[in-house]
Structures are given as structure tokens and as C-alpha cells.
Amino acid sequence: MSGGVDSSAAAALLLEQGYEVVGITLKLWPQDCLSRAEDKCCGPQAVTDARAVCHKLGIPHYLVDESESFQKQVIANFAAEYKAGRTPNPCVICNEKLKFGALLDRARQLGGEFVATGHFARLEKSADGRRTLLKKGRDPLKDQSYFLFSLRQDQLARSLFPLGEKTKLDSRQAARDRDLKTADKEESMEICFVPDNDYGKFLEASKLAQRHRGEIVNLQGQVIGHHEGIEFYTIGQRKGLGLSSPKPLYVIQLDSVNNRVVVGDDSALDREEFTVERCNWIPFDEPPAEMQVSAKIRYKHPGAPALVRPRPGGSATVKLLAPQRAITPGQACVFYDGDLVLGGGWIARG
């Protein structure tokens, strides 16, 4: 329970469906959490709100310290990815390793059968009953299945998403109807541990990255400027390059080996083929040799028709029917067949 409206509504709905519910809030930061993210899911106000909701519902509430695991498995990966010239998605890692990893272990210790969250996604059994399938949430504006693509079958089988058939308005109304204090709480759209959504400032302040000079080059390899660290740039970035050019220039590639930022014009951002690594497949153990899918290259991306060919070693090639802009190494690419999540992987460097 993050102290937000969705996890509050999920707990209330499960209770009324006859489940024995226990509220757990994960403490993801050490004692300096207050200065980092007062109102986030690790902040004292969030904990207070979660506890108040549990008291109102008449269920136990526990605060579980997972700050060490969070630091090792989420924050360290976050920094390492930026240093390698990739743009990470920490929410996917946090779901896989903590919310449906460490938290499942805690649930077992408490005698719990499932972990439930306020994610807007749906689960159902396959026709033969042998697999748990992941589907988009009914609310297209709030669907969060993208962030859950890496969950394994053993994790999905022990998960519950009470809001999967609901909309955000339904969630708020459910909280209001039960007089929960989080009903009208503003939702956060940022990474929970990055204040003001300024990841560069966070990396510096946390001493996870430091500025170091390097070259900015054009697509022909000519040096046209300098940067202070590839960690502070992302693919498609236009502002803050400090370059003078008759036409707009964008970050096309981050070369960690040579400590270079490669820039070019808008057209150079378009790609129609790329590789994904560390794939996870949900409806099947062994995927078909070729699949026609809708490929979602980032969370807010609507999805694009593509042909996916899995390869040995857990990777796959993705061939888009039409080029897409700013395909970013380090981001998750998730494959759909309608509402069904087929799986996904992590976009590799070109």
C-alpha cells in the first residue's frame, strides 16, 4: 500500500470480496527519505495515509524495510544503465524484484497466498488452465500492463489486480464511498525516487554519477561541441545541448565506449528494426518462430505493428511495419496481441 488512492481502493474491494487482507507498505529509502521524496511511496506522509486507510478498513498494516534491496537492485541498476548510454525503466525492475519478488516472500511469511496491488491490469487463466495470462487494464488511459511484462508465471499466479476492470474514476469513487482519506489524493506521474523528475540532479546528488567532459559529434564523426557526461542525455533530446546549428539537432546515440554524444537531424531518429534482450514470454514457454504484434517501445507509446522473431539466448529481432521515432536502448519494448501481453524485452544498443 503506497498511500495512494489505487492501493487503498484495491484493499477495500478485496476485503468486500471475502479475502483476508493485510496492508503492507514498502520502505524503499533509508532515513533521508524525507529530503528526497516527502510525498512519495516511501515518504512519511504516504506511510501515514496507508496506515490510516488500514485502520479505517480494520485490517493490519505493516511497514517493511526493503531499502537495501531497493538500493542494490533498482537504484544501482538505474545508475549503471545511464552510465552505459541506456535509458532505464526502474518501475519494471521494481515490480519484478520487489513488489512481486521480495513482497511475495513476505506474504509467504505472513501466511498469505497472493500479493495484490492497485495496478490497472488484468489476469486470467489460459484455456487449458496451465498458465496465467496478463492483459491490459480496461481503462486505456491508465493501463499499466507495460510495467508488468517481465513477471514470471510463478509471480503472476500469485498476483491479484482488483482494479483491472475499473477506471481511475471508479477507483476514486470506491475510496469515496468508503470514506477513505486517500480518495482525492493527487497521483504522482514521476519516478518515485527522483524529486522533480530531474534524474540528472538525482544521480549527482546521490553521488551515482559525476560530470566528465566528452565530445559531441555529428553523424560524420566531426566534433561540434562538448558534453559533461553521457549520463545526463537521452535519445531524442534537443534542449540543453549547447550547440549552434542552422537546423535543430537531436541526440541520436550515446556512445559509452568513446564517451561521445552523437547528434543529427530529426530524420536520423527514425528506425524500423532493432533487437531486444532478456525477453520474457507469458502465454508460452517457447515462443513461435515469428509473431505479428503491436510493439510498445515506451510506456506512453500507442504501439506499432511489427514482426517479432525470437532468437536463441533470450533475444529477439523486431521489424516495424513503419519507422518509429527515438527507439531508446534500455527501455522496455512490450508485445501485444490485442489486449493480451505476449511478453517483451529490453531494447539493445544498435
Encode pLDDT of 4-39 as tens digits: 999 999 999 999 999 999 999 998 876 554 444 444
Which pLDDT score, from 0 to 100, does residue 272 have? 97
Encode pLDDT of 223-240 as tens digits: 999 999 999 999 999 999
Is 80 exceeded by the pLDDT of residue 222?
yes
Domain check: are 192 and 221 in the same one? no
Contacts of 108 (CB under 8 A, 6+ apart): none
Domain check: are 66 and 172 in the same one? yes
Q: What is the DSSP string of 215-248?
A: EEE-TT--EEEEES-GGG--TT--TT-----SS-
Q: Which of 101-110, 119-128, 164-173, 175-184 has the lowest mean pLDDT?
A: 101-110
Q: 215: buried, middle or exposed (CB in 10 Å: 19+, 13-18, 0-12)? A: middle
DSSP 180: -
Gap between the Cα atoms of 35 and 192, Å rounded? 13
Q: Is 205 among the domain residues?
A: no
Task: Pick the closest to residue 140 from 173, 166, 106 (CA basis).
Answer: 166
Q: Is 67 among the domain residues?
A: yes
Domain check: are 112 and 253 in the same one? no
Task: Pick the closest to residue 305 from 317, 328, 322, 289 (CA basis).
Answer: 322
Rg value, the chain, Cα: 21
Facing residues of 306 across strands?
293, 320
Domain check: are 46 and 120 in the same one? yes
Domain check: are 27 and 103 in the same one? yes
Domain count, the chain: 3
Domain check: are 54 and 157 in the same one? yes
Q: Is 96 among the domain residues?
A: yes
Q: Cell triple for residue 69?
A: 534491496
Domain check: are 160 and 250 in the same one? no
Gap between the Cα atoms of 334 and 70, Å rounded? 24
In order of 176, 196, 348, the CA distances from 84 in angstroms are: 46, 23, 11
Which amino acid, residue 193?
A: F
Task: Pick the closest to residue 136 from 128, 126, 127, 147 (CA basis).
Answer: 147
Residue span of the structural domain in which 339 resides:
271-347
CATH number at 229 reads 2.30.30.280
Q: Is 69 among the domain residues?
A: yes
Residue with more model confidence, 205 or 149: 149
CATH number at 120 reads 3.40.50.620
Domain check: are 275 and 338 in the same one? yes
Q: Is 255 among the domain residues?
A: yes
Which amino acid, residue 316?
A: A
Q: Is 206 among the domain residues?
A: no
Domain check: are 26 and 139 in the same one? yes
Encode pLDDT of 49-89 as tens digits: 999 999 999 999 999 999 999 999 999 999 999 999 999 99
Encode pLDDT of 292-321 as tens digits: 999 999 999 999 999 999 999 999 999 999
- Among 170, 197, 224, the domain-final residue is 197
Which pLDDT score, from 0 to 100, does residue 35 have? 47
3-state secondary structure 116-178: ECCCCEEEEECCCCCCEEEEECCCCCCCCHHHHCCCCHHHHCCEECCCCCCCHHHHHHHHHHC
Which pLDDT score, from 0 to 100, does residue 335 have? 98
| H or E stretch covering 340 | strand 340-347
Domain check: are 70 and 185 in the same one? yes
Which pLDDT score, from 0 to 100, does residue 41 have? 56
Domain check: are 178 and 64 in the same one? yes
Which pLDDT score, from 0 to 100, does residue 340 have? 98
> Which of the four pLDDT bands, split at 50, 70 and 90, describes residue 187?
confident
- Among 143, 167, 197, the domain-final residue is 197
Q: What is the pTM of this model?
A: 0.93
Q: Is 52 among the domain residues?
A: yes
Which amino acid, residue 60?
A: P
Place of cell 526493503: 66
CATH number at 296 reads 2.40.30.10
Encode pLDDT of 247-280 as tens digits: 999 999 999 999 999 999 999 999 999 999 999 9
- Among 175, 197, 219, the domain-final residue is 197
Contacts of 148 (CB under 8 A, 6+ apart): 92, 95, 100, 119, 121, 134, 341
Which ranges constitute the DSSP H helices of the chain? Answer: 5-16, 33-36, 44-57, 67-70, 76-83, 90-94, 103-109, 153-156, 168-177, 199-205
Encode pLDDT of 152-171 as tens digits: 999 999 999 999 999 999 99
Mean pLDDT rounded to a whole number for the chain: 93
236-269 burial, b at 16+ Cβ within 10 Å, e below that, comes to ebeeebeeeeeeebbbbbbeeeeebbbbbeeeeb
Domain check: are 21 and 152 in the same one? yes
283 and 131 Cβ atoms separated by less than 8 Å: yes
> Which of the four pLDDT bands, split at 50, 70 and 90, describes residue 40?
low
208 and 199 Cβ atoms separated by less than 8 Å: no
Catalytic residue IDs:
94, 192
